[in-house]
Amino acid sequence: MISIAQLRAGRPFGAVSPLSSQQLFLSVSALVFVTSVLLTMVWCGSMSAMRGMLMPGGWTMSMVWMRMPGQTWLSAAASFVGMWAVMMVAMMMPSLVPMLQRYREAIGRTGATRLGRLTAIVGVGYYAVWAVLGVAVFPLGVALASIEMRFPLLARAVPFMTGAIIIVAGALQFTGWKAQQLDCCREGPACSHVLGTHSGGAFRHGLSLGLQCSYCCAGLTAILLAIGVMDLRSMILVTGAITAERLAPSGQHVARAIGAVAVAVGVLLIARAVGLA
């Protein structure tokens, strides 16, 4: 039976008000974020408890690129990709929520129903892109780790190469390409997405957002991989940089400031590597 209050409000029984829908969206997003952060912290703690391999040049190779005793490469890859996906949920959720909110507002104006379900599908599509990236990253990291263990001279050059990667990634922050990608992520005039009001369209929209986001974050993701994908402090810094350039009022200026800091850090690392600092 429809209540008198619902009749007065003009809503059918079981309908969710826009305010309630918004509160549910934010609550679920917060729950997913907190859960992913806790899981990431546990993962990082378990990995840091295992001593990495000390390499020529004085740096330590993370155990993330190695198999545990009795573990197959397939299970090692599955473990890495699973935790990579959880880590990306934690890192990208602060900047994804505004994009999902804009999607909800846009399809809400079309009269689409099942708003929560469509929003969840967009999120699945978005993180599917990052999961696929993790699938590509793991064999590359394993291959590089294997080469570094076989060739001590190359291992000694890793601190220098790390600094060089950070400098290149920082310089990328000043390019017009980066500015265009950032405009897209901030839903500027340089980018437009075809919104889907059904499951397939929502998933494709999520894939589109994920691809665009991975392009925009290419430099910062490279920095994370270079300085240590398992380092919690590095994750926090990169997450803060990604979130700031997406949400700050002057995103382009923030991106360039991040680039300047990255270049300075890269120069310092190179100076240390060659014994000048």
- Segment 81-95, tens digit of pLDDT: 999 999 999 999 999
pLDDT at 42 over 60: yes
Pairing of strands 53-54, 60-61: antiparallel
Q: Which two tokens stand for residue 140?
A: 């590359």
pLDDT at 241: 96
Report how far residue 154's alpha carbon sits from residue 228's, in angstroms, rounded to the nearest whole number.
Answer: 18
Going 99 to 102 to 108 to 110, the CA torsion angle's sign is negative
Q: Stretch 63-70: mean pLDDT, rounded?
A: 83
Predicted TM-score (pTM) of this structure: 0.86
Per-residue pLDDT tens over the stretch 222-267: 999 998 887 888 999 999 999 999 999 988 999 999 999 999 999 9
Share of the chain above pLDDT 90, in %: 56
- pLDDT band for position 152 (cuts 50, 70, 90): confident
pLDDT at 4 over 50: no
More confident position, 125 or 20: 125
pLDDT at 57 over 80: no
Q: Does residue 33 form part of some domain?
A: yes
Count of the separate structural domains present in the chain = 1
- pLDDT band for position 112 (cuts 50, 70, 90): low
Q: Stretch 184-188: mean pLDDT, rounded?
A: 75
Q: Does residue 246 form part of some domain?
A: yes
| CA-to-CA dists, residue 171 to 238, 264, 265, 272, angstroms | 16, 10, 12, 20
Containing 94, the helix (H) or strand (E) segment is helix 73-108
pLDDT at 13: 40
Q: Does residue 7 form part of some domain?
A: no
Q: Does residue 260 form part of some domain?
A: yes
Q: Does residue 109 form part of some domain?
A: yes
Report how far residue 162's alpha carbon sits from residue 65's, in angstroms, rounded to the nearest whole number.
Answer: 17
| Residue-range definition of the domain harbouring residue 236 | 19-65+74-273
Of 80-84, 147-151, 187-191, the range with the highest mean pLDDT is 80-84
pLDDT at 1: 37
- pLDDT band for position 7 (cuts 50, 70, 90): very low
Q: Does residue 256 form part of some domain?
A: yes
pLDDT at 52: 65
Indicate the average pLDDT of the chain.
85
Tell me the Ramachandran region of residue 85: left when phi exceeds 0, alpha when psi lies from -120 to 50, beta otherwise. Answer: alpha
DSSP 53: E
Q: Stretch 157-175: mean pLDDT, rounded?
A: 95
Q: Which DSSP string do the residues of 123-188 spell out, in sequence order?
A: HHHHHHHHHHHHHHHHHHHHHHHHHHHH-HHHHHTHHHHHHHHHHHHHHHTTSHHHHHHHHHHTT-
Residue 49 amino acid letter:
A
Q: Does residue 148 form part of some domain?
A: yes
Share of the chain above pLDDT 70, in %: 85
Q: Stretch 176-205: mean pLDDT, rounded?
A: 79
pLDDT at 114: 81
pLDDT at 111: 65
Q: Which DSSP string do the residues of 183-215 spell out, in sequence order?
A: HHHTT-TT------SSHHHHHHHHHHHHHHHHH
More confident position, 68 or 270: 270
Q: Does residue 6 form part of some domain?
A: no
| CA-to-CA dists, residue 114 to 11, 104, 108, angstroms | 15, 10, 10
